[in-house]
Structure 1
Amino acid sequence: METTLPLERPDPTTPPSEYRRLQEHEPVARVVGADGTPAWLVTSYELVAAGLADPRLGLTPPGVPADERASLFQDGPAHARLRRLVARAFTPRRIAELAPRIEALADEHAAALADAAADGPADLVDLLGAPLAIGSLGLLLGVALEDHPRFRVLVDDALRADPSDPALLAEAERAWGALMGFTAELLAAARERPGDDLLSALVGVRDADDGRLGDGELIALVTALLAAGVITVRGALAVGAVHLLRAGSWEDPGDVPGLVDEIVRRAGVEVFPRWAGEDLVLGGVAIAAGEKVLLRLEAANHDPARFPDPSALVPGRPGPHLGFGRGPHHCLGAALARVELTAALTALSRRAPTLRLAGSVEDIPWHHGEVDSGPTMLMLRT
């Protein structure tokens, strides 16, 4: 009997118990999606890691023509070219230079959260997670995004829209179109007044083999970076806060970099579905060309064969997780996300060590999307 998605969860913070059965008996399982379409669900760490690195599993269904608006969400030479160009501007040195400013930003927003919570329940997502993600992206790009209130509205609208739902397709297209329009305005300003920032570097980047990024490529690329940056940090911080507060508090976080890695492992961010570009065998299962494959990071990151006691937060846990993906589509912003989350946890331990959940975990409104998961609101009190 085929399994139907989504799988039931014991509670929003806990992966479906069905993952354990699948990992033990059927790590590559035939499933039916919520929209009624068939797919292969991959749940073991070993096979998810192998699938992420397999060039035969792509982001685009076979036969679908390339579109420059797909940005980094494409495969093969087109994706490799964009990644090479972006890597020249998106450097570890640039992230390291921004770290002190991101730390100051986190401290400012953590203090504001603590002040608000002194007068009643205050929302960590609204007062720390979202503004920190948006402000850090603004620092990276060289744009004061926090001074653009409509940017946050546009990102929220785009991330809420579900392009897989036919009834909401028009709304999704409108929301993403508006966000891309905003991005086009930022790029036009960067061309007029170039500076020492990522946006200006992307506008000017070129080389003899790859050429300059086209306008459509630039708009799609920066829009994708903005959306992914907000999703990852806002969601991971909220998820991490829930787990920490259930276990006690963040007053003495100890090994913060190690804790950040564990939070990312538990965060629930997923990769987009893959499509078999040709017939292949994964885990002894034959997958035909054109079939949809769901490489489930949450399941892989909770695989007890790889992570003993996977539901526990164990800073410094040995072995790499797959929270930022793997292979050619490994998250470009992983270093930035780690800096932001480290800054946020450090600031919370200093500025708001006594904050607690304002209600029960069961009362937290939780979003489980195709690629992101986390509280939409996390109310805290002193």
Structure 2
Amino acid sequence: MTTPTLPFDRPDPLTPPPEYARLRASAPVAPVLTPDGRRAWLVTSYETVAAVLSDRRFGLAPPGTDMSGNDTLFQDGEAHARLRRLVSKAFSPRSIAALRPHVERLAGDYVSTLADHGPPADLVTDLAAPLSIRVIGELLGVPTGDRARLRGLADAASATDFLFADEEDLATAAQAWNELGAYAGELVAAKRETPSDAELIAMTTTIVSAGYLSASNAISTGAIRLLAEGRLPALATSTTEQTDTAVQEVLRLQAGRTGEPFPRYAQDDLQLGGVPIAAGDLVLVRLEAAHRDPEHFADPDRFWPERRAGTPLVFGHGMHYCLGAPLAHIEITAALRALARRLPGLRLQGPVEDIEWTTNAVDIGPKAVHTTW
């Protein structure tokens, strides 16, 4: 039997590849080939995806890898835990909750400007990207005049599919990340009298790239789904609890499209879903597939804004759960609700099938969302 090669065909941009459902039903842990020809295990059921994300026997690097010099959150064990503690105070539930009114005002301001300029509008350029880069920039103390520069650097660093890229693309990606890191170094140095260190630079770079890109893509894709379903106006009059529930459902259906967890490597020989996995094997989880698992979500393909049963893995699970999850949820909710309140007649300017998407393997989003009203 031929081993299937990723990525699978996706006939509908807002729906997972049909192959995910077939594998989830017949082989939730299945052998595949990556785009660059490596052998890997593809994990598609909710139970097995959650198991991989929460089991410390699956790491971000192959066993025995020398992680010295890695100053980012993309590592395991105590080194990862210590780095999370460096920024945990800034991302505590209380700290993030205190930002909600400010983020809501910012979202309202961007939507008001968009509306005042009149149709048409691009929700990526006019709302999602500037809101997310401003929020993360303010959190990090980025000067107002540097926001455009920061966004350009973050976009360049995220533009390449660095997981499965060829040598030329990897070199381009490395240069872009180095430039973003250099700016992070300037920012850190400006905030302290002593020279900046590698950990703070790496943490700043990670927070910018993840916090900006993920939120921007989630806002844009969430708007597409709500507009395609005719559900956006309902957010204008819904309660905070109803809105949070609806946004959670939006994120359930788009998670994976706008962000899959980083690949994992088995650290030991083990069993996953009854399948033997060898130490060093590459394991790829698919949230898109897990969130459509009928064993965990009733009528999983249905967009049901009132859904309360089931726990989506939108922001990960276990020790690598996204630090910025509460902030991202506030941004997404504020942006979508501001659109609903100010522009209830908003609609897509063309079919969903015509929307162009980025090619990053980790966090994919629309290049533009053209709308009118």
TM-score when normalising by structure 1: 0.90
* 1:362 pairs with 2:363: no
Match of 2:159 in 1: 160
Contact 2:260 2:362 in 1 (8 A): yes
Match of 1:263 in 2: 250
**Residue 112 of structure 1, CA deviation:** 2.0
Residues 303-334 of structure 1 show CA distances to partners (whole Å, capped at 9, x for unaligned) of 12212222322224212101100000000000
Contact 2:265 2:281 in 1 (8 A): yes
**Residue 145 of structure 1, CA deviation:** 5.0
Contact 2:159 2:359 in 1 (8 A): no
Match of 1:274 in 2: 264
Contact 1:237 1:341 in 2 (8 A): yes
**Residue 147 of structure 1, CA deviation:** 4.4
Worse-superposed segment, 61-70 or 103-112? 61-70
* Amino acid paired to 1:19: Y
Match of 2:124 in 1: 125
Match of 2:232 in 1: 250
After TM superposition, the structure 1 = structure 2 runs for residues 113-262 of structure 1, keeping only pairs within 5 Å, are: 113-116=114-117, 118=118, 120-145=119-144, 147-163=146-162, 164-165=164-165, 166-192=167-193, 215-253=197-235, 254=238, 255-262=242-249
* Amino acid paired to 2:232: W
Contact 2:262 2:362 in 1 (8 A): yes
Aligned mates of 1:114, 1:98 — CA distance in 2: 24
Aligned mates of 2:360, 2:152 — CA distance in 1: 18
* Amino acid paired to 1:219: I
Runs of 4+ in 1 over 3 A off after TM superposition: 67-70, 144-147
Aligned mates of 1:102, 1:20 — CA distance in 2: 37
Residues 217-268 of structure 1 show CA distances to partners (whole Å, capped at 9, x for unaligned) of 1111111111111122111111111111111141222321011111221222
Structure 1 gaps, min length 5:
193-202, 204-212
Aligned mates of 1:233, 1:261 — CA distance in 2: 14
**Residue 92 of structure 1, CA deviation:** 1.6
Match of 1:328 in 2: 319
Match of 1:199 in 2: none
Contact 2:89 2:95 in 1 (8 A): no
* Amino acid paired to 2:120: P
Match of 2:58 in 1: 57
**Residue 357 of structure 1, CA deviation:** 0.4
Match of 1:315 in 2: 305
Q: Secondary structure at the match of 1:5?
A: coil
Q: Secondary structure at the match of 1:148?
A: helix
Aligned pair in 2 of structure 1 residues 286, 233: CA closer, same or farther (>3 Å)? same
Aligned mates of 2:68, 2:110 — CA distance in 1: 39
RMSD of Structure 2 on Structure 1 (CA): 1.7
TM-score when normalising by structure 2: 0.93
Contact 2:213 2:363 in 1 (8 A): yes
- Aligned residues: percent identity? 50
Match of 2:295 in 1: 305
Contact 2:159 2:358 in 1 (8 A): no
* Amino acid paired to 1:266: L
**Residue 146 of structure 1, CA deviation:** 6.4
Q: Secondary structure at the match of 1:4?
A: coil
Q: Secondary structure at the match of 1:293?
A: strand
Aligned pair in 2 of structure 1 residues 104, 174: CA closer, same or farther (>3 Å)? same
Contact 1:276 1:291 in 2 (8 A): yes
Worse-superposed segment, 258-267 or 11-20? 258-267
Aligned mates of 1:190, 1:297 — CA distance in 2: 38
Aligned mates of 1:220, 1:281 — CA distance in 2: 34
Match of 1:198 in 2: none
User: What number of residue pairs does the alignment pair up?
Assistant: 361
* 1:94 pairs with 2:95: yes
* Amino acid paired to 2:30: A
